[in-house]
A = this chain, B = another copy of it.
Amino acid sequence: MIIVLKPDITEKQIQHIEERIKKLGLKPILSRGVERSLIGVIGEEDKLRATPLEAIEGVEKVMAVLKPYKLASRDFKRESSVVSIKDVQVGGKSIVVMAGPCSVESAELLSEVGHLIKKAGAKILRGGAFKPRTSPYSFQGLGEEGLKYLKKVGSKEGLPVVTEVMDPRQIALVDKYADAFQIGARNMQNFDLLKEVGKTKKPVVLKRGMSATIKDLLMSAEYILSEGNMNVILCERGIRTFEDATRNTLDLSAVAVIKQLSHLPVIVDPSHATGKWDLVAPMSMAAIAAGCDGLMIEVHTNPEEALSDGSQSLKPEKFEELMNMTKKVAEAVGRLM
């Protein structure tokens, strides 16, 4: 931690800051400069992080030297982590595609979609039983009924199942049916929910919040990891910007940045990021080229009657095309599909 002092700081104020630091068991090192003086702090930066140094008179700004996350960091674990959802490994050489309808609407739909995505090469079935909808008047999901359909179709097709959990009270129920939890973008900083999924050992797909920095995302992962659950998969799904041609702005640099900062696997959801089905294929290919470990894609047999997010869902034949196209890109960057 580096503390930059104001030009007009008094000696007494400097002493006060030094004492504060020593009281925490850390060592302050004062360095006087012509325009600004600094105090460098030696010892565990974390102890200082909780201290509002900027509230002390005479302090101009405080600059952190270290990253605030530990277990999520590549400094903590050099080699990339592989997270297994049942027998499917995410983070290895193969790029894993998770696909399915936005929401589980009926047994028939799910069964049909499940069969078709499996045939096309998807490895995991996704579908929402509990749906976070902006409007209270929109379809809110089938709940346990939807979970049952997911488990049934997953078993039949041999596809592990991932589904969203929105409320700590749903965890036990979802745990019975799903092979991995999904934490949605709107709940990325629902810390109680993070802690609770952290207490299970089940893999968690953690989606980046719309206004979350990469650092925020890694801090939210840290909540899960620090509870003992190391099976975290990060998911880039677009951030909120001024551009309104797409629903959100897919931040593919984040994939490459996370790969540098963290050992955790990263997947990309181009369906929610763009909100438009005809952008899903190009963005899927771009995501793979950027280095992601998997994709999460919405597929619906009849998008125009979908109860949620129809405009971003692919028809099964388009999904099959996408699988063929992405396979070539995966090979070009030395990955398998």
Contacts and interface: CB of A to CB of B under 8 A. Distances in A.
Contacts of A227: 136
Contacts of A290: 282-283, 285-286
A205 to B, nearest CB: 18
B249 A311 contact: no
Given A240-B242, A311-B52, A252 B254 contact: no
A104 interface: no
Contact of A52 (B55, B252, B309): B309
A65 to B, nearest CB: 5
Contacts of A304: 20, 51-53, 55-56
Contact of A40 (B40, B166, B250, B251): B40
B55 A303 contact: yes
Contacts of A333: 285, 325, 328-329
A135 to B, nearest CB: 6
Contacts of A291: 282
A322 interface: no
Interface string A217-230: 00100110011000
Interface stretch (A83-91, A93-101, A172-180, A186-194): A186-194
Contacts of A137: 46, 49, 226
6 contacts: A49-B138, A55-B313, A241-B242, A250-B253, A286-B289, A328-B333
Interface of A: 2, 4, 7, 20, 29, 31, 33, 35-36, 38, 40, 42, 45-46, 49-56, 63, 65-66, 68-69, 75, 132-139, 166-169, 186-187, 189-193, 195, 209-211, 213-216, 219, 222-223, 226-227, 239-246, 249-257, 260, 273-274, 276-279, 282-283, 285-291, 303-307, 309-311, 313, 325, 328-329, 331-333
